[in-house]
Structure 1
Amino acid sequence: MNAGSTRTRVAPAPCRAWLRALSGALALALLSACSSVRPWINAPMRPEQLQAAHVNEQRDPSLVMAVTLSGGGARAAAFGYGVLRALDAVHFDWNGKPLTLLDATDLISGVSGGSIVAAYYAAFGREGLPRFESEFLRRDFQQGLISLLLRPGSLHELSSPWFGRSNLLQRQLDELYRGMSFADLEARSRHPQLIVTATDLTRGHGFEFTWDQFALICSDLGAVPLSFAVAASSAVPIALSPLTVKNHAGQCPAPVAGALAHAAGIGAQGPADYRQRLYRAQINEYLDASARPYIHLVDGGLADNLGVQRLLDRALMSGGLRQTFREVAIPPGSVRKVVLVVVNAERDPTRNLDLSDEVPGIFDVADALLFGTGARATNETQEFLHDVARAWHREVQGQGPAAASDVFARDAQIHVVTVNLRDAPVQQRRQLLQVQTAFSIADQEVSELIAAGGQVLRASPDFQALLRSLGARVEAEDAAAAPADGPRVD
């Protein structure tokens, strides 16, 4: 390129759409009088609602299974949906009952795009899951959100200092989840526990929508709409606004928060336990509502794109798997199998900036920070997961502390299965790793990502070992398939 020439930097298509919508919305909002609209915000917990944890006693404690779905917009939602569908195709008998691996899932955790499908499965179960394809993946959700943003009523609401763009995202997600709250999940029989992870904006660590987290701020998770949690987890900075929760700590008559904070410090003795001490410090930050009366939440992928860090930290905090299971009243000798499936739909940066000496533009920098620097944090979390998994194996084999007092059966096994989009078949890997992070992607990309989710899961040696240990049979792919591709719904 000649010294006098210039290069026009073009924002990615989804960014351009957002910028056009936002600039128009802001211009119109400035011409109107500021409104005083206040969106939903969490209320303090009533004394009879105090509880540090909820346990679904209808689930079989001999098989404990969790699935975590990473962030990545509709790309992650489609890939995660493909994994869930593949889990539902695995049939086996357990304690005389026919099950699928999706049936057996006790806990499902999601971040950002992964939280959209995780919450949908928690809300509507195995029977309702196939509708996710038509109601979200093959609907132009992003264009619907932009249209909502440009409505005159929305522009008036956006002129309020308490109402932001993510409140409109919540409104659209509320239609997807039929207005359901976390309390509605509790009313479902055999429901999996749902964890949605956002990022605490001013602290930079994860904020989980769990009963324990809301006990710390003396608020009732049951009253929280699923749409609020998922919108907070998906609130990409700049494009979307933070969502806010009120800290009511100190208003609870029972010392639930104090008990949780104390438990976080148990066993934290030496340098190797720094994660426990860090976790305890994070808990303590929420106990003084006068110092932090409001907590602002943004996209969960900024803190933990896999959604497993705080799960692992809690297990370490409690003193290992044994103590974790004891705390939820699992009887001695009950646990025969623990399964953790970790799904990662992270993609590559759009451009390799290291191939040029030109100053990267603002969108290039944002893209690199999200998908380059962020990938390093994800890799570190995966390595931490592998270390913890090895410790769990030693613990189950009786080589860890307190092996004599066991919730584990003598033949207990642990299976940790990682499902990475980067492990997709080579002929499609490059293309799938370039699928944009947006609320809507092309129908063909949806189909390929769903297929890749099942393919990568089934190709995993750890997953194959799990199948052998269960004596499971895998249903033919066409029998488990979702409805055929249809036209995109606007």
Structure 2
Amino acid sequence: MQSVLRHGVDALRSVRRRRLAFSSARRARTRCLLLIAAVGASGCIAPAYHNSRLELADPTAGYRFDALFPETEGDGDALFVCLTFSGGGLRAAALSYGVMQELAATLVRVGDDASAPRRLLDETDVISSVSGGSFTSAAFGTWGDAMFDGRYEQRVLRRDLESGLIGHMLAPRNFFLLPFILLDTVDVAADYYDRRVFDEVRYRDLLERGSRPYVVINATNLALGRGFEFTQADFDVLGSDLGALPLGYAVAASSAFPIVFSPMRLRYFPQAEGCDVRSELVNSPEARLADARRQAWAKSITRFRATPDGVRCELDEFDHRFCYVVDGGLCDNLGLTHVIQEYQHGYIRRRIQEGRIRRLLIIVVDAGHRPKEAIERQAASPGLLTIGYKTAVTGIENHNETLVRMTRLLVSGSAEVREAYARCLEEFQGACPDVAPPAEFLLPPTDAYVAHVHFQAIKDDLQRERCLNMPTRLSLPPWDVEELIRVGREVLVRDPEFQRFLKDAGV
């Protein structure tokens, strides 16, 4: 009996030892898995940013218009062309591509009438783009004329970018980090656009080429709800070097529509040696008009601190470590704000004052749509997602129409004011011979044109409805792409302002 009991106790002890061994092995495996996950997650969960610090600040260098294209003599700026490309996914990308094809086919004479005709596309000085339109502007900045050899259509317009992004997310090197990548989907898009679309071109490459146009990709500063431009002037406020950033990352940020994509994270750095841009913006009275957006931004991220040398303006590093940027369409879905600002206070205004620009052509490519809705057909109240989406999109579309009208009033009003001032000056010159008028009113008037390429201008009712109902997506059927390219060319040619420009240019 004792022998049986002893064997039973030994058996129980053996089972217990096996269980303890199994439990220890299981805990060890669990710890290993957790360690692997922690190591893998540390690279994704730790705040990742894609910009680098600017070591030496130089307000005359970097990717900015005046650094790219210094003052030149002759008729280089006699015709100044600005293009703005709206958001709207591949719908916007295809429409803007059609406009660029038409500009490449249009010949104009610049300066002396005896000069050889040049393509209107070659006279393009600035492209300001948002979201889907940024694919086209970045492609032209990357490849130039080579985008017309089928490269752009193959890599963007006729490509299923949605499936490409999903496939990139599920790639072997990303698969095990998938749960964490979902937290920063914009990084997946940025990496995909950089590697698969834009050949890993960086802003420093555009700077080294030094050829027009100046490409301004627009996003939205999420904290302020105001515009953010991928230019060195905006990166000066970050204390960062734009030259090291890939173009594909700017496109991803510009098209990072909330909920679908996470915001792109950019790091604030201490100011570089040579120039304290933030302090200059905060303390500059001139910036209230000439650079109001960047001044408000600089004020929001800085604080004043007493030092032995006096009061110093410095970055509030505790509350402002990162700048988050999202889809540029949230504050300006046409990309017109940059052109308006530069016309009023920037490089366009200076060239007009110097008498360098004799004709200013602004072409607004607007891919805004008005899809048919079932809201008024159903008895049930719209859901929260529908209400939120419609609230955002409707506001953007309504803002587009107002912005185009304002731009037309602005450029036409400037000429009218100049002419009225000249008449008054002529009338009272005898009574006040010593009065010197402002320099800008002594210049020859600048002829300005604002063309608007949009779907409402399509004459055919069926085609207009078809285009207005095309979705905002990153993939479209090939027949829709063909139609949008054709519409872009046809609507531009028929636009009254564009026709007036061609007539005045002697085309």
Fold shared by both chains (TM-score > 0.5): yes
Is the contact between residue 218 and residue 228 of structure 2 (CA under 8 Å) also seen in structure 1? yes
Distance 1:165 1:91, change over 3 A: same
Which stretch shifts more, 212-221 or 348-357? 348-357
TM-score (norm 1): 0.79
Question: How far does the alpha carbon of each residue in 1:79-110 deviate from its partner, in whole angstroms, 9 at most, with x for none?
Answer: 11111111111101223243111111111111
Three-state SS of the structure 1 residue aligned to 2:364 is strand
Distance 1:346 1:286, change over 3 A: farther
**Counterpart for residue 55 of structure 2:** 46
Query: Per-residue deviation at 1:77?
Result: 0.3
Distance 1:124 1:108, change over 3 A: same
Question: How far does the alpha carbon of each residue in 1:203-257 deviate from its partner, in whole angstroms, 9 at most, with x for none?
Answer: 2111111121111222111111101110000111111111111112544441334
**Counterpart for residue 402 of structure 2:** 380
Question: How far does the alpha carbon of each residue in 1:46-88 deviate from its partner, in whole angstroms, 9 at most, with x for none?
Answer: 2165547423148712221110000000000001111111111
User: How far, CA to CA, are the matches of 1:244 and 1:113 in structure 2?
Assistant: 20
Q: Which amino acid aligns with 1:376?
A: N
Question: Structure 2 stretches of 5 or more lacking a match?
Answer: 1-33, 303-314, 426-435
Question: How far does the alpha carbon of each residue in 1:96-139 deviate from its partner, in whole angstroms, 9 at most, with x for none?
Answer: 24311111111111100001111101111124344211221011
Matched, 1:36 2:42: yes
Query: Per-residue deviation at 1:310?
Result: 3.9
User: How far, CA to CA, are the matches of 1:85 and 1:162 in structure 2?
Assistant: 38
User: How far, CA to CA, are the matches of 2:288 and 2:250 in structure 1?
Assistant: 32
Q: Which amino acid aligns with 1:69?
A: F
Distance 1:173 1:277, change over 3 A: closer
Q: Which amino acid aligns with 1:100?
A: R
What is the 5 A alignment of 1:247-396? Answer: 247-261=268-282, 265=286, 280-287=295-302, 288-290=315-317, 291-316=319-344, 318=345, 324-326=348-350, 332-394=354-416
Matched, 1:121 2:140: yes
User: How far, CA to CA, are the matches of 2:217 and 2:464 in structure 1?
Assistant: 28
Is the contact between residue 162 and residue 475 of structure 2 (CA under 8 Å) also seen in structure 1? yes
Matched, 1:219 2:225: no
What is the 5 A alignment of 1:408-487? Answer: 410-425=444-459, 426-472=461-507
Is the contact between residue 353 and residue 443 of structure 2 (CA under 8 Å) also seen in structure 1? no
Query: Per-residue deviation at 1:416?
Result: 1.3
Question: Structure 1 stretches of 5 or more lacking a match?
Answer: 1-28, 269-274, 473-490
Is the contact between residue 412 and residue 448 of structure 2 (CA under 8 Å) also seen in structure 1? no
Matched, 1:108 2:108: no
Is the contact between residue 334 and residue 408 of structure 1 (CA under 8 Å) also seen in structure 2? no
Q: Which amino acid aligns with 1:125?
A: G
Matched, 1:62 2:73: no
User: How far, CA to CA, are the matches of 1:213 and 1:81 in structure 2?
Assistant: 27
The one of 253, 265, 280 aligned to 1:244: 265
TM-score (norm 2): 0.77
**Counterpart for residue 93 of structure 2:** 77
Is the contact between residue 457 and residue 491 of structure 2 (CA under 8 Å) also seen in structure 1? yes
Distance 1:57 1:50, change over 3 A: closer
Matched, 1:405 2:439: yes
Query: Per-residue deviation at 1:313?
Result: 3.5
Q: Which amino acid aligns with 2:444?
A: R
Distance 1:190 1:462, change over 3 A: same
Is the contact between residue 128 and residue 339 of structure 2 (CA under 8 Å) also seen in structure 1? no
Q: Which amino acid aligns with 1:148?
A: H
Is the contact between residue 42 and residue 245 of structure 1 (CA under 8 Å) also seen in structure 2? yes
**Counterpart for residue 220 of structure 2:** 199
Is the contact between residue 343 and residue 419 of structure 1 (CA under 8 Å) also seen in structure 2? yes
Three-state SS of the structure 2 residue aligned to 1:296 is strand
Query: Per-residue deviation at 1:370?
Result: 4.0
